[in-house]
Amino acid sequence: MTATTTDHTPAGSSSLPAARGPLSAGLFATLSSPQQAPPDLAGAATADPYGEDLHLALYALYELHYRGFADVAEDREWDPALMPLRRALEDRFLDALRADVPAGRSVDDAIGELLVESTDHSDSVAHYLEHSGELWQIREYAALRSLYHLKEADPHAWVIPRLSGRAKAGMVAIEYDEFGAGRAENIHAQLFADLMTDLGLDTRYGHYLDVAPAPALAVVNMMTLFGLHRARRGALVGHFACVEVTSSPGSRRLAAAMRRTGAGPAAERFYAEHVEADAVHEQVVRREVIGGLLADEPHLESDIAFGADVTTYLEDRLSAHLLEAWRDGRSAFRQD
């Protein structure tokens, strides 16, 4: 029997995307029919840890914990048959990150580097868009970033019950702002949807998944992986700190890019909002969230640094993909 959705599938859920290889094809067959066994774990153990197939499969498994898919039953979220595959994909991804990102750094070293904006802007997407980006490139950037921004702050909320004292209070204070401070129209995910409307993009949740290349999926998968695992709480805080510390200067450049290209008032507002808000958030996350967590659990220092460093590494990979395509006059979207 083919699995169908329940009557309670969240509004805005998208359908399963097109497969990109044997792992995602096998997974989608399993999600469509419970009688179909998941793909063999040996394939996950040998897959490209940054490749299209692995990251689409992992993204789809993680999406079951967000809004799910319109053509997948809701009770597949914690289907025991899917957990070994998810773990194998996570292990393959994490092993590669551990091999490629230096370990054992202090929080001061990891966060300190983020506080100094580089004078070399050759690998900065925000700088490129501010000074020479065309409107079609800004639209591509927004479409790919929608996979994160339309669920902005959601994976970070998972860490709240795993914190206490200063760390918890600081995290909740930041999340309160991210979720609109009690006003639905000011939820940052809604502000990004408004930006997309200005740019003439489709605002449906997950709409651009099929054109998102693996480097874009890896960024979202990383934060979801850290968010879902209590053992990765330090890494999630490090990731969150990296986002907040680097957001304000990047957002200032992107707001300027929106003005220069006439993208529209809502497009400019999204980034202008982040310039002010994230300058405050940076202080809270450094002093209260990180400071409080280290006071409570000092053994998590290397995990916090790892989370920040991994975020930089994956963002750099995505930036390289975007800039290589755009400087060649090509679309950065995944091509079938």
Give the domain-ending residue among 98, 113, 143: 98
Using the 8-state DSSP alphabet, how is residue 199 labeled? Answer: T
Q: Is residue 151 part of a domain?
A: yes
Q: Are 240 and 158 in contact (CB under 8 A)?
A: no
Q: Are 251 and 267 in contact (CB under 8 A)?
A: no
Compute the mean pLDDT over every residue in the chain, rounded to the nearest whole number: 93
As a whole-number percent, the residues of the chain with pLDDT over 90 amount to 85
Query: What would the two tokens of residue 222 be?
Result: 């990383």
| Same domain, yes or no: 71 and 208 | no
Q: Is residue 293 part of a domain?
A: yes
> pLDDT digits over 61-90, tens only?
999 999 999 999 999 999 999 999 999 999
Give the domain-ending residue among 55, 70, 98: 98
Q: Is residue 10 part of a domain?
A: no
| Same domain, yes or no: 32 and 112 | no
> pLDDT digits over 233-249, tens only?
999 999 999 999 998 89
| Same domain, yes or no: 120 and 231 | yes
Per DSSP (E only), the strands in the chain are: none
| Same domain, yes or no: 152 and 279 | yes
| Same domain, yes or no: 86 and 170 | no
**Model pTM?**
0.94
Range of the domain at 49: 22-98
Q: Is residue 162 part of a domain?
A: yes
| Same domain, yes or no: 222 and 305 | yes
Q: Are 31 and 19 in contact (CB under 8 A)?
A: no
Query: What would the two tokens of residue 163 be?
Result: 């914190």
Average pLDDT over residues 15-43: 94
| Same domain, yes or no: 207 and 126 | yes
| Same domain, yes or no: 169 and 277 | yes
**Rounded Cα–Cα distance for residues 324 and 151 (Å):** 27
Q: Count Cβ neighbours within 10 Å for each residue of 66-76 and write b for 16 or more, e otherwise.
A: bbbbebbbbeb
| Same domain, yes or no: 81 and 230 | no
pLDDT at 1: 28
Give the domain-ending residue among 36, 68, 98: 98
**Rounded Cα–Cα distance for residues 2 and 55 (Å):** 25
Average pLDDT over residues 267-277: 88
Q: Are 140 and 332 in contact (CB under 8 A)?
A: yes
Nearest to 254 by CA among 241, 266, 240, 272: 272
| Same domain, yes or no: 148 and 245 | yes
**Rounded Cα–Cα distance for residues 79 and 173 (Å):** 34
| Same domain, yes or no: 137 and 286 | yes
Q: Is residue 264 part of a domain?
A: yes
Q: Decide if pLDDT at 6 tops 60.
A: no
| Same domain, yes or no: 33 and 132 | no
pLDDT at 279: 76
For the chain, the domain total comes to: 2
> pLDDT digits over 125-150, tens only?
999 999 999 999 999 999 999 999 99
Q: Is residue 7 part of a domain?
A: no
Q: Count Cβ neighbours within 10 Å for each residue of 253-290 and write b for 16 or more, e otherwise.
A: bbbbbbbbbebbebbbbbbbbbbebbbebbebbbebbb
The CATH number assigned to the domain holding 203 equals 1.20.910.10
Q: Is residue 177 part of a domain?
A: yes
**Rounded Cα–Cα distance for residues 333 and 293 (Å):** 39
